Amino acid sequence: MDYLPWHQNNWDRITMQFIVRRNPHALLLYGASGLGKRVFAESLSSLLLCQAPMKNKHCGRCRGCVLKQAGTHPDLRHVRPESSRQIKIDQIRELNRWSVQTSQQGGYKIAIIYPSEQMNVQSANAFLKVLEEPPPQTLFILVADKVLSILPTVRSRCQSLLFSVPKHTEALQWLKSQHDHTDNLAQLLIQSGGAPLEVSKLLNGDYIRLRNDVAQNMLALLSRKTNALEKAANLQKYQPIDVLKVLESFVSKAIRLSMVKEEKNISSQDEDDAPSRLLASLEVTALFQFRDQLLKAVRYLSGNSNPNPLLLIEAIFVNLSRAQIRN
C-alpha cells in the first residue's frame, strides 16, 4: 500500500529532507491508532530502498523493490514485541549490532520499531546508545500511538512527525474507494474517532458477523433466559475492544432513539434491530449507566494497564443482566 491521501504533507516534508540530504537518523511517527503511520513507514522504506525511484515513489521493479515486496530485504528490520507486550533489551541489542554493519544492498539500512512505546526502560536506554552515535546511512523509524509513554531522552533524539485525524470528507472518500459495503461508513468513522484504518479493520474483520453475534448474546441476556458468564464466553473469540465498541454503538443508538421518541412520539422504523430492542428493554437511566461502563472499559483496555479482557466483558454482562428492566 502506498502512503495515504491525508499523509501528503508529511510525505512531502520528509522526502524533501532526504532529497536535500538533511534527513534525520531517527523519525518518530506518532498519533492515534488507525491513521496509517505504519503504512507511511513502509512507504518511506520502499522509497529509500528502491534503486530507481521515480517522481518520489518506489519503482516496484528493481531488486530493492522486489526484495522489499517479498519481505526479505536484508537492510530492512522490523522490531516488534515478541512473546510479551514489551520490546525487550535483547531485541534492541540485536538491533544495535545490526545497525553498525554495512548495508548489504549498498543503500540505506532501515529499522521500523512498533509500537515503540513498548520498549521498557532497559530497552530504551540500550537504544539511546545507538541514537547518540547514529551509524551512517541508517534510519530508525519509531511508530507510536502513545508518544508520551516514550522516554523523553529517546523522543528528543528523533525528529517527530505528528499524524492527525483527516478531514471527515477526505476519510470517507478514501473508505468508499476501499470498500464495497458502504452503508454506515460515516457512522463507523465517527465511532472510530475519525481513524479510517480502524474502520477498514472492522469491515475486513467481518464486522457484520461480529455485530450479529454481539447483538444475539446481548439480547439473550436481556430476555433473562441465560446467564451472563456464558454469554460473555461466547464472545471470547473476538477482540474485546471490538466487542465493547459494538455494544457502545448499540447503546448510543438506543439513547438517540429514546430522544427521538420523546420529541416526536413516533415509533422506531426498525423495531427488530438491537438498539430498538435494547431501548424496549431498559430504562433510559440504565442505558446511560451501561454506556458509561462501556466507555470506561474501552479507556481501560486502550490504556497502559493490562486488564483481563474476559473479566472485563463478564463484568459488563453481569451488570447488564442486573440492569433495570422496563415494566
The nearer residue to Zn ion, 59 or 325, going by C-beta atoms, is 59
The nearer residue to Zn ion, 5 or 53, going by C-beta atoms, is 53
| Residues between 12 and 51 with contacts to Zn ion, criterion CB under 5 A | 50
The nearer residue to Zn ion, 65 or 294, going by C-beta atoms, is 65
Q: Are 300 and 312 in contact (CB under 8 A)?
A: yes
The nearer residue to Zn ion, 65 or 286, going by C-beta atoms, is 65
The H or E element that residue 60 is part of is none
**Sequence-ordered alpha helix ranges (H) in 133-273:** 152-155, 168-178, 185-191, 196-204, 207-222, 228-234, 240-264
For residue 276, what are the CA distances in angstroms to 122, 215, 252, 255, 280?
Answer: 52, 11, 11, 9, 6
The nearer residue to Zn ion, 39 or 301, going by C-beta atoms, is 39
CA distance 284 to 282: 6
Each residue 47-76 as x (binds Zn ion by CB under 5 A) or -, in order, gives ---x-------xx--x--x-----------
Nearest approach, Cβ of 58 to Zn ion (angstroms)?
Answer: 5
For 54, residues 6+ apart whose C-beta sits below 8 A from its C-beta are none
The nearer residue to Zn ion, 62 or 220, going by C-beta atoms, is 62
Would you say the C-alpha torsion 130, 133, 136, 137 has a positive or negative sign?
Answer: positive
Nearest approach, Cβ of 11 to Zn ion (angstroms)?
Answer: 17
The nearer residue to Zn ion, 64 or 240, going by C-beta atoms, is 64
CA distance 185 to 179: 9
Nearest approach, Cβ of 107 to Zn ion (angstroms)?
Answer: 10
With residues binned 3-state (H G I as helix, E B as strand, rest as coil), the percentages for the chain, rounded to 5, are: 55, 10, 35
Q: Are 325 and 281 in contact (CB under 8 A)?
A: yes
Reading the block at residue 1, the C-alpha cell is 500500500
| Residues between 212 and 251 with contacts to Zn ion, criterion CB under 5 A | none
Nearest approach, Cβ of 232 to Zn ion (angstroms)?
Answer: 50
Sheet containing strand 26-30, edge to edge, reads 76-79, 109-113, 138-144, 26-30, 159-162
CA 130 to chain CA centroid, Å, is 28
Which residue in 289, 222, 217, 225 sits closest to 251, CA to CA?
Answer: 289
The nearer residue to Zn ion, 35 or 50, going by C-beta atoms, is 50
3-class SS of residue 119: strand
Nearest approach, Cβ of 300 to Zn ion (angstroms)?
Answer: 45
Total chain residues near Zn ion (CB under 5 A): 5
For 181, residues 6+ apart whose C-beta sits below 8 A from its C-beta are 203, 208
Nearest approach, Cβ of 63 to Zn ion (angstroms)?
Answer: 8
Nearest approach, Cβ of 40 to Zn ion (angstroms)?
Answer: 18
The nearer residue to Zn ion, 27 or 50, going by C-beta atoms, is 50
Residues within the interface to Zn ion (CB under 5 A): 50, 58-59, 62, 65
